[in-house]
Chains A and B, each alone.
Chain A
């Protein structure tokens, strides 16, 4: 069964203004296989998927399903041809119920049979072990559950080809395992699954075959068992691995006893329980914990992103009041939000405008940065951070996820913060950019900037942070440093095996 070709894409071409996003890419999916599609940001993975699902129209090439040539002009066409997708970013409607989201756009008749759908939805949710009720508003569910509802929707569409675009980036381990079990079940039923992810371990855990793209071109197709992880990374970033290894080795991380930059006691917000926290000049620390543990909420409280309800804050020993983002910014704090699309980019504005935004806000309404200065700043950071964009005037929304993230990083770096909070800066981003960001964080720390770094990949945090604050159920349950900074200890603390100092 594994050799029966299900889907074949040949010489796919896709052009965007100024960019050749796909240049004659071939892709073959067989029945009952899990096929990982790998590549850096801007390699063309998302574009290829969007061509396949009818979001984009290809400019050249051919698609066949089970030997028959098909043309896909709309997501509806794709669905009719048995191709279903779960996207990287959630594309459901938060103000509809779970059941409505699962059945929207594919009602059999004009009448929506609510009861029937709700019953059916509950069955599927139960089957997949998704902790949601069919009558719940989707927006009330956590990001992870929303993602799983999206998967459930696709699964229920009796698809031949299931595309999972970064499905695991907002799931915790348990949920990932649940998903993998489901993927294997579907595979056994003969469904071909295209799996797009940045988590290498997951690729090796679940996939049968790997296709690697780079810069819109096909690098090659490999059996997973024949391709060592290191080689995969090398093929993806197209350079040798010294750099990768080097970064791993710079684990000196001497904890310099610099002055305390930021200090909070009993800080709480509408979303965060009271907590104490401090960070020294040039220190990199991290907040970790499962989704919903309150790590994002805590750093948001530091920045004044949610309504601050209590606590004392000192910066360099002096008491300050931070209740709004602008207060934090004026005190030298920058914050890269977790949800890039919702809280980060201003999609329709240009790269230039997005980069200078925070600095402009700090300058105020009446001191605009001149156009030439803006351009100079934009050019500088496009170069420094290696942002891939057609021009500085390109709308930032048309950039790939990783480059969008770099634009937001540039925005904050431009304000020359003393303390930078990065909430999931590497989420949904290719390996190369991840490394770049990690390096940047370490370099910032060297220059005396305090950094709080949050990532769902513990590995990444261990590599960059000299101190990890562990949260569980909206409380700080431990603080790890030095010898304790290892995967096992982190897992133990998260799981609640033993609690360390710093518990509230």
Chain B
């Protein structure tokens, strides 16, 4: 038992140290600033449901789209050693398709929402495989390959709904974007949990994790071991496509409105940061989805903290940048190595003193 615990601490937590410390520091900072910051209250919403409310809920709820995108982005990063910068634009497309299908007839039933989501998924997967093809088959740098969709994605979204910002209102949509009657936890949070479970099961019941890591660490060796690295890379983009569709649909459902210009605007940078804060190597290889999810919550906690401090949201970006630079630098191999050395020296000195003391 003790041995597994030690292994967990040294191996398992190693990668997660920075994001966990970051989130703990943010929590402590907030508790000092305002002891009631994280208090969760129970209230009734305007539909008469009992719901949980408070900053903690805002953080967890608000980070949902980011967390979901970060999961998919982690996989792309691991397999391709690069990032997809078109997730925001692709989400706008998926969201537009979602709304387009919903508005095809006046009635919105649960089945129709499902159909709309499936359509959004298919479209997002098609765009994902477009990106994936450029990366996996034509060997274009992921950032360059996805720059294309990044640039034209929102124009495509604009075209889907004829440039309008159509709204949809339906109890079903409201239940997806806000609360399901009778369940006090925001639905997007439940969707994040569901997605995390899906990924967990995906890794448990397939060898995707092993193959993806192999392709990311050493593509040549992976190929000589019979792994179809083209397929693995393509697959990672398609899976990201599903994440994009989910995130886009949540984004639309929150407000019952698709604004192709602002839906998940600039989310790609936050997504990549979440992956980086999560301790994943942006150059590909080994990865931990959990790290990226924590990374997403770190970013959201930071945003909400700054809002709560009434920092002007124009300045929020600058403050965010400072904190994130700190996190990424602290998480960099150079600093980690130096810190590791310092710690081992420190421990050595301590144990040395202890021995002396005993003598």
| A residues adjacent to B (C-beta < 8 A) | 17, 57, 303, 305, 324-326, 328-329, 335, 337, 342-349, 353, 357-358, 360-369, 393, 411
* Chain B window 202-224, contacts with chain A (Cβ cutoff 8 Å), 1 for yes, 0 for no: 00111110110110011011111
The answer to whether B225 touches A357 (Cβ under 8 A) is yes
Interface: B95 (CB within 8 A)? no
The answer to whether A342 touches B221 (Cβ under 8 A) is yes
* Chain B window 221-236, contacts with chain A (Cβ cutoff 8 Å), 1 for yes, 0 for no: 1111111100000000
Contact of A358 among B205, B225, B341 (CB under 8 A): B225
Max chain A CB contacts within 10 Å: which of B206, B222, B226? Answer: B226
Q: Given A360-B210, A368-B204 in contact, is the A324-B221 Cβ separation under 8 Å?
A: no
**Interface residue ranges of B302-359 to A (CB < 8 Å):** 341
Interface: B7 (CB within 8 A)? yes
Q: How far is the CB of A249 from chain B (nearest CB, A)?
A: 36
- In the complex, the chain B residue whose C-beta lies closest to that of A370 is B204
Max chain B CB contacts within 10 Å: which of A335, A337, A365, A366? Answer: A365
Question: For the complex, what is the distance from the CA of A347 to the CA of B204, rounded to whole Å?
Answer: 22
The answer to whether A361 touches B206 (Cβ under 8 A) is no
* Chain B window 40-75, contacts with chain A (Cβ cutoff 8 Å), 1 for yes, 0 for no: 000000000000000000000000000000000000
- Point out the residues of chain B lying under 8 angstroms from A357, CB to CB: 210, 214, 225
Question: For the complex, what is the distance from the CA of A361 to the CA of B75, rounded to whole Å?
Answer: 19
Q: How far is the CB of A416 from chain B (nearest CB, A)?
A: 15
Interface: B285 (CB within 8 A)? yes
Interface: B111 (CB within 8 A)? no
Q: How far is the CB of A178 from chain B (nearest CB, A)?
A: 30
The answer to whether B217 touches A346 (Cβ under 8 A) is yes
Main secondary structure of the interface of B (DSSP, over half): helix
- Point out the residues of chain B lying under 8 angstroms from A360, CB to CB: 207, 210-211
Interface: B162 (CB within 8 A)? no
The answer to whether A344 touches B221 (Cβ under 8 A) is yes
Interface size on B, residues (CB 8 A): 26
Q: How far is the CB of B230 from chain A (nearest CB, A)?
A: 11
The answer to whether A393 touches B11 (Cβ under 8 A) is yes
The answer to whether B206 touches A337 (Cβ under 8 A) is no
Q: How far is the CB of B167 from chain A (nearest CB, A)?
A: 42
- In the complex, the chain A residue whose C-beta lies closest to that of B348 is A59
The answer to whether A324 touches B226 (Cβ under 8 A) is yes
Max chain A CB contacts within 10 Å: which of B207, B213, B217? Answer: B207
Sample of 12 A–B contacts (CB below 8 Å): A305-B223, A329-B226, A345-B221, A347-B218, A349-B213, A349-B214, A357-B214, A361-B211, A364-B207, A365-B207, A366-B206, A393-B11
Q: Given A368-B206, A393-B11 in contact, is the A361-B226 Cβ separation under 8 Å?
A: yes
Q: How far is the CB of A467 from chain B (nearest CB, A)?
A: 25
Q: Given A365-B206, A365-B207, A365-B211 in contact, is the A349-B224 Cβ separation under 8 Å?
A: no
Question: For the complex, what is the distance from the CA of A358 to the CA of B221, rounded to whole Å?
Answer: 11
Q: How far is the CB of B79 from chain A (nearest CB, A)?
A: 13
| B residues adjacent to A (C-beta < 8 A) | 7, 10-11, 204-208, 210-211, 213-214, 217-218, 220-228, 285-286, 341
Q: How far is the CB of A327 from chain B (nearest CB, A)?
A: 8
The answer to whether B225 touches A349 (Cβ under 8 A) is no
Known A353-B213, A358-B226; further 11 A-B contacts with Cβ < 8 A: A324-B226, A325-B223, A326-B228, A335-B224, A342-B220, A343-B221, A346-B214, A360-B207, A360-B210, A363-B207, A366-B206
Max chain A CB contacts within 10 Å: which of B204, B205, B214, B285? Answer: B214
The answer to whether A366 touches B218 (Cβ under 8 A) is no
Question: For the complex, what is the distance from the CA of A362 to the CA of B228, rounded to whole Å?
Answer: 12
Question: For the complex, what is the distance from the CA of A393 to the CA of B10, rounded to whole Å?
Answer: 11
The answer to whether B225 touches A325 (Cβ under 8 A) is yes
Max chain A CB contacts within 10 Å: which of B206, B208, B217, B224? Answer: B224
Max chain A CB contacts within 10 Å: which of B205, B214, B221, B285? Answer: B221
Max chain B CB contacts within 10 Å: which of A357, A362, A364, A367? Answer: A357
Question: For the complex, what is the distance from the CA of A57 to the CA of B345, rounded to whole Å?
Answer: 12
Question: For the complex, what is the distance from the CA of A358 to the CA of B227, rounded to whole Å?
Answer: 9
The answer to whether B217 touches A348 (Cβ under 8 A) is yes
Q: Which 4 A-B pairs have the closest CB atoms?
A: A326-B226, A361-B226, A325-B226, A368-B207
- Point out the residues of chain A lying under 8 angstroms from B227, CB to CB: 326, 361
- Point out the residues of chain A lying under 8 angstroms from B226, CB to CB: 324-326, 328-329, 358, 361-362
Question: For the complex, what is the distance from the CA of A305 to the CA of B222, rounded to whole Å?
Answer: 11
- Point out the residues of chain A lying under 8 angstroms from B10, CB to CB: 17
Q: How far is the CB of A271 from chain B (nearest CB, A)?
A: 14
Max chain A CB contacts within 10 Å: which of B10, B218, B220, B227? Answer: B218
- In the complex, the chain B residue whose C-beta lies closest to that of A395 is B286
Question: For the complex, what is the distance from the CA of A343 to the CA of B210, rounded to whole Å?
Answer: 17
- Point out the residues of chain B lying under 8 angstroms from A342, CB to CB: 218, 220-221
- Point out the residues of chain A lying under 8 angstroms from B208, CB to CB: 365
The answer to whether A368 touches B205 (Cβ under 8 A) is yes
The answer to whether A348 touches B220 (Cβ under 8 A) is no
- Point out the residues of chain A lying under 8 angstroms from B223, CB to CB: 305, 325
The answer to whether B217 touches A349 (Cβ under 8 A) is yes
The answer to whether A343 touches B224 (Cβ under 8 A) is yes
Question: For the complex, what is the distance from the CA of A378 to the CA of B31, rounded to whole Å?
Answer: 48
Contact of A353 among B7, B210, B220 (CB under 8 A): B210
- Point out the residues of chain B lying under 8 angstroms from A362, CB to CB: 226
Question: For the complex, what is the distance from the CA of A335 to the CA of B220, rounded to whole Å?
Answer: 13
Contact of A349 among B7, B206, B286 (CB under 8 A): B286
Question: For the complex, what is the distance from the CA of A17 to the CA of B10, rounded to whole Å?
Answer: 10
Q: How far is the CB of A422 from chain B (nearest CB, A)?
A: 13
Q: Given A346-B217, A347-B218, A393-B7 in contact, is the A305-B206 Cβ separation under 8 Å?
A: no
Question: For the complex, what is the distance from the CA of A303 to the CA of B207, rounded to whole Å?
Answer: 23
The answer to whether B211 touches A347 (Cβ under 8 A) is no
